[in-house]
């Protein structure tokens, strides 16, 4: 499953991968590749966890499995990426000061007072980081291998491959900060739950019955070439994930409700 995120952040892709190299050993190569799938009711747990190989065996040579031991490297990247969202003051040659800050596509421009308030009391993104930890833990317990690695569909920020039980997130996404990363991870968690809703983690995703009313930047993402050749079902699955990706408590709840813990 695929999702999209703006190209923002302060770490290069090389630096991001270097942090994870320090956190763990190089991973084994897997030659076999399969096509990946891109992209509220209150049901009982019904997904079936199938026997899967060691997560390291599902990774290619350039991939980094987000094991518990490697989470410290991931969060170091996220914290560094979060710093790019803190406004900064720059002196103007000849006198004066200008304030520079990053703005997400649907955010309103900040006033000078708001900018100064953010500089005095920068956001911590503690809630987003807590949700990331919960999602990673719950998906691992359900048999999902979460890794940083390039999705096979160009332009995708994330990708869920139910046939292999692998959830990929593009390696540069952590450098964009906690808020961008958790949105991508939550989007893909919804896709994982869609598979479990159809009876098994490895099943083709099935709609969960959530809202599919997509707004703002998410609607624009669905117009990108990435989704141009999607079937009607694939598009509906993406609409469901995009419409609910900002509800950060939903992904954990859906995984818990639909995917059995092994």
| pLDDT of residue 18 exceeding 60 | no
Under 8 Å CB-to-CB from 240, ≥6 apart: which residues?
190, 194, 207, 208, 210, 211, 212
Instruction: Give the Cα separation of 20 and 64 in Å (integer).
Output: 7
pLDDT for 232 = 95
> Which segment of 50-64, 65-79, 139-153, 212-226 scores lowest on mean pLDDT?
50-64
Average pLDDT over residues 63-75: 94
Instruction: Give the Cα separation of 152 and 32 in Å (integer).
Output: 13
Is the whole-model pTM more than 0.85? no
Q: Which helix (H) or strand (E) holds 118?
A: helix 112-120
| pLDDT of residue 39 exceeding 60 | no
Nearest C-alpha neighbor of 23 from the set 59, 76, 87, 92? 76
* Backbone angles phi and psi of 151, in degrees to 5: -60, 155
Q: Are the beta carbons of 47 and 199 closer than 8 angstroms?
A: yes
pLDDT digits (tens, 9 = 90+) for 208-238: 999 999 988 888 888 888 888 899 999 999 9
| pLDDT of residue 51 exceeding 70 | no
pLDDT digits (tens, 9 = 90+) for 124-173: 999 999 999 999 999 999 999 999 999 988 889 999 999 999 999 999 99
Q: Are the beta carbons of 158 and 238 closer than 8 angstroms?
A: no
Nearest C-alpha neighbor of 140 from the set 92, 189, 175, 179? 189
Q: Are the beta carbons of 246 and 211 closer than 8 angstroms?
A: no
Average pLDDT, the chain: 81
């Amino acid at each position: 499953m695929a999702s999209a995120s703006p190209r923002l952040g302060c770490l290069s892709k090389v630096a991001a991968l270097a942090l994870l190299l320090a956190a763990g050993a190089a991973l084994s190569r897997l030659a076999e590749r399969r096509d990946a799938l891109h992209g509220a009711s209150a049901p009982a747990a019904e997904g079936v966890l199938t026997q899967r190989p060691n997560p390291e065996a599902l990774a290619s040579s350039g991939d980094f499995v987000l094991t518990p031991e490697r989470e410290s490297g991931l969060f170091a990247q996220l914290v560094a990426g979060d710093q790019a969202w803190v406004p900064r003051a720059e002196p103007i040659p000849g006198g004066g000061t200008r304030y520079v800050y990053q703005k997400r596509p649907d955010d309103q421009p900040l006033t000078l007072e708001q900018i100064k308030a953010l500089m005095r009391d920068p956001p911590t993104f503690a809630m987003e980081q807590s949700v990331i930890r919960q999602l990673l833990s719950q998906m691992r317990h359900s048999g999902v291998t979460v890794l940083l690695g390039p999705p096979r569909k160009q332009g995708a920020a994330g990708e869920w491959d139910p046939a292999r039980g692998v959830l990929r997130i593009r390696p540069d996404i952590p450098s964009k900060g906690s808020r961008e990363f958790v949105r991508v991870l939550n989007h893909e968690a919804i896709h994982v739950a869609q598979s479990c809703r159809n009876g098994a983690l490895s099943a083709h995703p099935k709609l969960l019955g959530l809202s599919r009313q997509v707004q703002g930047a998410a609607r624009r993402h669905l117009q990108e070439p990435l989704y141009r050749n999607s079937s009607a079902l694939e598009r509906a699955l993406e609409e469901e994930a995009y419409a609910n990706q900002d509800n950060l408590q939903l992904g954990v709840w859906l995984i818990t409700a639909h995917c059995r813990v092994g």
